[in-house]
Amino acid sequence: MTEKDYYEILEVSKTASGYEIKKSFHRLAMQYHPDRNPGNKEAETKFKEINEAYEVLKDDQKRAAYDRYGHQAFANGGMGGGNPFGGFEFNFGTGGFSDIFSDIFSEFMGGGRGSNRTYARPGSDVRYNMEITLEEAFSGVEKEIKIPSSKTCETCHGHGTKDGKEAPICPHCNGSGKVRLQKSFLVVEQACPHCQGSGRMVKDACPDCKGAGAIREEKTIKVKIPAGIEDNTQMRVPGGGEAGTRGGKDGDLYIFISIKEHKLYSRDGANLYTQIPISMCCAALGGKIEIPSIDGEKIELNITPGSQNEQVVRVKSQGMTMMRSKGRGDLFVKLRVETPVNLSARQKELLEEFRSISQDNSCQPEAKGFFDKIKDLFVA
């Protein structure tokens, strides 16, 4: 991978349209093609760099990522690898959300989609992945999130023009953004080179947005997560997405909330589940055990004498909060009776004594029943 700036490699400006990038790439690729420069190592390197730069800049999403993070965006095995995007997710080719980075910049200038009808462009919807703790899901939480976004350029009111007025219709394509060219026997339709496919002639571009009509910015949004929210919930913030340009509607923000695994508790709806180890003596004699509750308090758990392994103790109203109710779910605690190990001589002595006075198994009815049952089998 090259360290050089992709825009410099392709000899285009940072605001170049897709069309301009493509044009420049073709020109440079022709110039430095190995077939035309046999044995020229320098040309070969240059040709590789040109291809690498074009791979990124021709793709709106990769280009936006590169603009934001530079070469870092593609380190560690690419977009997914090092995850330089924090909570953001890209939906490559999956449809649905267009992406956190709008393609307005490139499309306005060269996507070839412009016409009078599409002059006003709605902003894209934006997806944001948020991970919260189970405690936060329990109590509800307010989070401030930063999302890369774009807003309408105020200088030109989104028109991209220096005077801030709607740009006049391109006379070369009559505002359709497309022109038809005769290429030998074929008639091909192309993005109008005079207006780069926008259908409008921006003669003097707005100096602030370079004619794009929008400015990139980081948007801070406060999000209130309600108490009791379930894992994998999707929240919509209308108008929280990319700004529309030239009168277009703002996109929406979709927040996907997932809940982190908890050390102690697992959750099923409003109920919480956990397991705790207890000693043999505690199981036999009963006792009290303290465990932390989800709301940060302590729960004193009463172990009744004679508790069995895997027995479940239900603690009322110590589960999760519920979203449309004041009630709370329950907590279910499974007891795991631990057989003592590493016994000292004295402990052994006491247990031996215990065994010697418990020969009739009356303190272990299940074992007694079992041995009574198989006694006949021995006789037979």
Contact residues for 215 (Cβ-Cβ < 8 A; gap 6+): 150, 151, 152, 153, 208, 209
To the nearest whole angstrom, how small is the minimum distance from the Cβ of residue 39 to Zn ion?
A: 44
The SS3 of residue 30 is helix
Q: Which is nearer to Zn ion, 209 or 331 (CB)?
A: 209
Asked if 58 contacts 18 with a C-beta cutoff of 8 angstroms, the reply is yes
To the nearest whole angstrom, how small is the minimum distance from the Cβ of residue 244 to Zn ion?
A: 14
Nearest partner of 138 among 349, 322, 358, judged by Cα: 322
* Residue 143 φ then ψ, to 5°: -125, 145
Q: Which is nearer to Zn ion, 199 or 319 (CB)?
A: 199
Amino acid letter, 53: A
What CA–CA distance (Å, rounded) separates 167 from 164?
8
Q: Which is nearer to Zn ion, 104 or 153 (CB)?
A: 153
Q: Which is nearer to Zn ion, 52 or 166 (CB)?
A: 166
What CA–CA distance (Å, rounded) separates 171 from 292?
73
The SS3 of residue 2 is coil
How open is the CA angle 188-189-190, to the nearest 5 degrees?
A: 115
6's tokens: 């992709």
DSSP code of 226? P
To the nearest whole angstrom, how small is the minimum distance from the Cβ of residue 13 to Zn ion?
A: 16
**For the chain, how far is it from start to end, CA to CA, in angstroms?**
81
To the nearest whole angstrom, how small is the minimum distance from the Cβ of residue 195 to Zn ion?
A: 3
To the nearest whole angstrom, how small is the minimum distance from the Cβ of residue 188 to Zn ion?
A: 16
Binding-site ranges for Zn ion (CB under 5 A)? 153, 155-156, 170, 172-173, 192, 194-195, 206, 208-209
Q: Which is nearer to Zn ion, 172 or 219 (CB)?
A: 172
Asked if 152 contacts 249 with a C-beta cutoff of 8 angstroms, the reply is no
Give buried/exposed letters for 181-206 (b at 16+ CB in 10 A, else e).
eeeeeeeeeebbeebbbbbbbbeebb
To the nearest whole angstrom, how small is the minimum distance from the Cβ of residue 140 to Zn ion?
A: 40
Q: Which is nearer to Zn ion, 124 or 176 (CB)?
A: 176
What CA–CA distance (Å, rounded) separates 69 from 66?
5
To the nearest whole angstrom, how small is the minimum distance from the Cβ of residue 173 to Zn ion?
A: 3
To the nearest whole angstrom, how small is the minimum distance from the Cβ of residue 112 to Zn ion?
A: 10
Amino acid letter, 75: A
What CA–CA distance (Å, rounded) separates 164 from 118?
19
To the nearest whole angstrom, how small is the minimum distance from the Cβ of residue 43 to Zn ion?
A: 36
> Token match 């006694």: residue?
375
β-partners of residue 279 are: 338
Nearest partner of 321 among 138, 135, 134, 132, judged by Cα: 138
Q: Which is nearer to Zn ion, 20 or 49 (CB)?
A: 20
To the nearest whole angstrom, how small is the minimum distance from the Cβ of residue 198 to Zn ion?
A: 7
Q: Which is nearer to Zn ion, 155 or 271 (CB)?
A: 155
Q: Which is nearer to Zn ion, 22 or 62 (CB)?
A: 22
Q: Which is nearer to Zn ion, 98 or 196 (CB)?
A: 196
